Amino acid sequence: MDSVSPLLVVLVTVPDEGVADSLSKALVGERLAACAQVLPGLTSHYSWEGQLERSEEVLVILKAPEERLADLEQRVRQLHPYDVPQIVALPASHVEEHYARWVEKVTGTTHEGDTG
């Protein structure tokens, strides 16, 4: 069996569903991520410029091949309204093979010699 690209789960918080929708469409449309899931109703507590803050946010969960991370991160920074957007990439320790191959196919990262 040919190996598949390492898959990342990338977490990005945004201020509202409108931003989540436009960001998701751009990243999937540009093949930087295979999938974007939008979870509204997130409450974030954080320190910003010396103040304790609380914000209602939306979480965007992206699935992307590791080799797309630099471009994905750059594009998120371009599109994101925050000065310091949350971009946290977590390696997936296990990904079902058919799903992993689908991610490669839709992001254009299928490697030479791979089948499927």
What whole-number distance in Å separates Cα of residue 36 and Cα of residue 21?
Answer: 9
- Domains along the chain? 7-107 (3.30.70.120)
* CA 26, 32, 37, 41 torsion-angle sign: negative
Give burial (CB, 10 Å; 0-12/13-18/19+) of 8. buried
Q: How many CB atoms lie within 10 A of CB 58?
A: 20
pLDDT of residue 56: 97
Confidence at residue 116, expressed as pLDDT on a 0 to 100 scale: 42
Specify the 3-state DSSP secondary structure of 81.
Answer: coil
Output the pLDDT for position 5: 75
Give the pLDDT score at 111: 63
Q: What is the pLDDT along the chain (116 residues), one digit of tens a residue?
A: 456 778 999 999 999 999 999 999 999 999 999 999 999 999 999 999 999 999 999 999 999 999 999 999 999 999 999 999 999 999 999 999 999 999 999 999 876 544 44
- Measured in whole angstroms, the distance separating CA 75 from the mean position of its chain's CA atoms is 11
Query: 13 Cβ partners below 8 Å, 6+ apart?
Result: 42, 44, 57, 58, 59, 60, 85, 86
pTM for the structure as a whole = 0.90
